[in-house]
Amino acid sequence: MIKLKSSDAKGIACILLAALGFALMTFFVKLSGDVPTMEKAFFRNAFAAVIAAVALLRSEEKFKMKKGNGKYVFLRCLFGTTGLLCNFYAIDHLPLADANMLNKLSPFFAILASIPILKEKPTKIDIMTTVVAFSGVILIARPSPDVSMIPALAGIWGGAGAGIAYSFVRLLGRKKERTSIIVLCFSLFSCLLSLPFMIFDFKMMEPWQLICLISAGIFAAIAQFSITSAYKFVPARKIGVFDNTQVVFSAILGLIFFSEIPATLSICGYVIIIGMAVFRWYWNLHHDEEPEEPKTTEDISASK
């Protein structure tokens, strides 16, 4: 039986708040309506860029990056940004719960990416849960030869991009790169990449749409602070599974505000993917003898 310490309870509370925050972020992104995806991405990342820049200005090293980390920061930005854009596209074209569930594949993609990037060898349990989780993806995506498959593929790459970015962030963490540098580079890269598209396809927003995107940025910031606090209280292997409650929150929001009722096959897919995450969490709690590396803000930023 697993004993729940006070620190564990605090960690669980924080990660549940983070899951709600990210669910509300995706909700407001979808609620903003027909605003182009690039415009949504620009406003979403502008908030993080400002926060990171202020933090760096107040530091002793300012904007100095550690030598040799530039290429890894670039790859983190590239995969993280493409994953974010695809996730936003999926949010606009899929039921909210489906889009969030596909994005939750990031830990499984991180396992695959960690082989060449971190030289980590996955365990048999890692391989088994990854293979089974992808069977859940098939149920959610429901492959078809027509264009209706494009949003699902975008959602899958949203999870893949986040997972690969997660691996590069872990590598940067080992190389002692600062959190604010990684966050600032990612945010600026995303803003600069989306800016040309936004200019040529700019849509003047209604006041309520601007409020939606501002709200998305605010809830994303709340979620990032909450999830960072969660991993300060307790190791990731003990509470990471609770992050999947974001899908539950998203399903509730989608049902109430968008009248979205998940398809039966999608629900089966949710059960399989979350079930594999729960299984890995339970297995790690009882079989990991070595303490897990402390999870830093860089780790958190990679998958969001």
Comparison of pLDDT for 241 and 133, the residue scoring more: 133
CA distance 254 to 126: 31
Least confident piece of the model among 79-88, 140-149, 160-169, 175-184: 140-149
CA distance 88 to 137: 18
239 pLDDT band (50/70/90 cuts)? low
For the cut 90, the answer to whether the pLDDT of residue 45 exceeds it is no
CA distance 151 to 105: 15
pLDDT for 266: 87
Comparison of pLDDT for 221 and 251, the residue scoring more: 251
299 pLDDT band (50/70/90 cuts)? very low
Tokens of 243: 């992050």
Taking phi over 0 as left and psi of -120 to 50 as alpha, with beta for the rest, 42 belongs to alpha
Ordered by start, the domain boundaries in the chain are 6-302
What's the number of CA atoms in the CB half-sphere (13 Å) around residue 117? Answer: 22
Closest Cα partner for 170 from 99, 106, 83? 106
Highest-confidence range of 138-147, 221-230, 268-277, by mean pLDDT?
Answer: 268-277
What's the number of CA atoms in the CB half-sphere (13 Å) around residue 101? Answer: 31
For the cut 50, the answer to whether the pLDDT of residue 295 exceeds it is no
According to the 3-state scheme, what is the secondary structure of 77-102? HHHHHHHHHHHHHHHHHCCHHHHHHH
Closest Cα partner for 79 from 187, 160, 151, 178? 160
Helices 179-200 and 70-93: angle between axes, nearest 10 degrees:
50
